[in-house]
Structure 1
Amino acid sequence: MLENKKQYSLPALGLAASLLCSSVAYAELSSIDDDGLSVISGQAGVYLSGEISINENGGPIQNAYFGDCSDTKKCGARLAIQTKQNGGWFVLDDFKGGFSFQGLTLRVRDINSGFGGDGALFNREVLEIGLPDQIKVDKLQYTYATSSTARPTDAGFQQTDLYTVEIDGNVTLQGNLLVFPTGNN
């Protein structure tokens, strides 16, 4: 004799089990007075991790109009700075690659002592940037140059490459950077 059995799939059983368990679990927010808060310890500030890629594949758009990396005038990002009106340009050219870090911290620090006696005179808060132990650099490169125009496509373009930097590997950092405010506070 054949029996009529119901079969349940594994996901359906998992869903039912999670619904049963979640019905008993709940959380409530409540305020903590100063005495209760005084026994809790923690870390002030912000802990940051990130990965930044800049023009990883060469040019932002590779087509007949913008070109591709076989045309050296149109590959990589470019930052041009003119420091004097009607003057030449300082250029970071062919900028591409990336880097990642873990453990960059930001916090406010009170400087009221140290620094050869100047801390007591300063007696203010500063921004402390805690450097991550390592930064992983992935094929980061750029060329420092001078140029007659901001863009390679401008008329009369002439560029003199001064040096090229290529970094691939880990950079070890230690310590903190302190950013001191200016003004009349």
Structure 2
Amino acid sequence: MNAGGAIFKCIAGICLAALVWPAAAEMTLISDDALSGVSGQGGIYLSGDVSINEFGGPLENSYFGRCDDVAKNCGARLAFRLKETGGWMVFDDIRGSFAFEGLTLGMRTIDSGFAGDGELFSGDVLELGLPNIVRFDDVRFKIAASSTPRPTDPGFQQTDMFSVEMQGDVIMEGNLLVFPTGNP
């Protein structure tokens, strides 16, 4: 072995040892008194990059198809029934991609009437901390009313209300609070 190879192996060994050594640290117990002085926050911090039907969906039938076929819808579909006996509100032909960093999920206790601005409430709520910037890349979808949740269901009729196309950055600030209901 030449001297250069030996020096390289020596340096690689030292670097490897430096990386492994902290992992070998031993855990120690903390007494109840010491632990009572520790505070922290609960919650989840999320970042993501989501692509939806960028190149078309896997389903091809009389309604869905390839994205290059203008006579077909190629994106995802979300359907919501607004009333038990009512029709369906749908987000249809959803496609594109978006990225975000810093969406937080946590619990928050509300024990005031929002300084007189809201109904009295005392309990825990889910708090969604909105990310500062959401980046949209060729995001498209339609908002429509539909007689059925799926276009393949019997009696399907849909009225497209409007189409949305989004490109670029959206700045989001604030929190969204989700309140529990008394009726499950």
What is the distance in 2 between the residues matched to 1:16 and 1:126? Answer: 52
Cα-to-partner distance string for 1:56-90 (whole Å, 9 max, x where unaligned): 1123368xxx7422323142223456778998765
Q: Which residue in 2 is equivalent to 1:104?
A: 103
Q: Secondary structure, in 3 states, of the residue corresponding to 1:36? A: helix
Q: Which residue in 1 is equivalent to 2:136?
A: 137
Q: Secondary structure, in 3 states, of the residue corresponding to 2:29? A: coil
Alpha-carbon distance, 1:11 to partner? 5.8
Aligned match for 1:16, one of 6, 13, 25: 13
Once structures 1 and 2 are overlaid, which stretch shifts more, 76-85 or 51-60?
A: 76-85
Alpha-carbon distance, 1:34 to partner? 3.8
Cα-to-partner distance string for 1:14-65 (whole Å, 9 max, x where unaligned): 4422455467653111122244335545443221111111111123368xxx
How many residue pairs end up in the alignment?
Answer: 177
Q: Identity of aligned pairs, percent?
A: 52
Q: Secondary structure, in 3 states, of the residue corresponding to 2:58? A: coil
Task: Determine if contact 1:59/1:74 at 8 Å carries over to the other structure.
Answer: no
Aligned match for 2:42, one of 41, 44, 47: 44
Question: When the two structures are superposed, what TM-score results if normalisation uses the length of structure 2?
Answer: 0.70
Structure 1 counterpart of 2:14, one-letter code: A
Following superposition of structure 1 onto structure 2, how do residues 142-157 of structure 1 map, counting pairs within 5 Å?
142-146=141-145, 150-151=150-151
What is the distance in 2 between the residues matched to 1:24 and 1:126? Answer: 43
Q: Secondary structure, in 3 states, of the residue corresponding to 1:113? A: coil
What is the distance in 2 between the residues matched to 1:81 and 1:24? Answer: 54
Q: Which residue in 2 is equivalent to 1:53?
A: 51
Q: Which residue in 2 is equivalent to 1:32?
A: 30
- Alignment gaps of 5+ in structure 2: none
CA RMSD of aligned residues (A): 3.9
Q: Secondary structure, in 3 states, of the residue corresponding to 1:37? A: helix
Alpha-carbon distance, 1:109 to partner? 1.6
Alpha-carbon distance, 1:170 to partner? 1.2
Structure 1 counterpart of 2:13, one-letter code: A
Q: Secondary structure, in 3 states, of the residue corresponding to 2:14? A: helix
- Alignment gaps of 5+ in structure 1: none
Structure 2 counterpart of 1:167, one-letter code: M
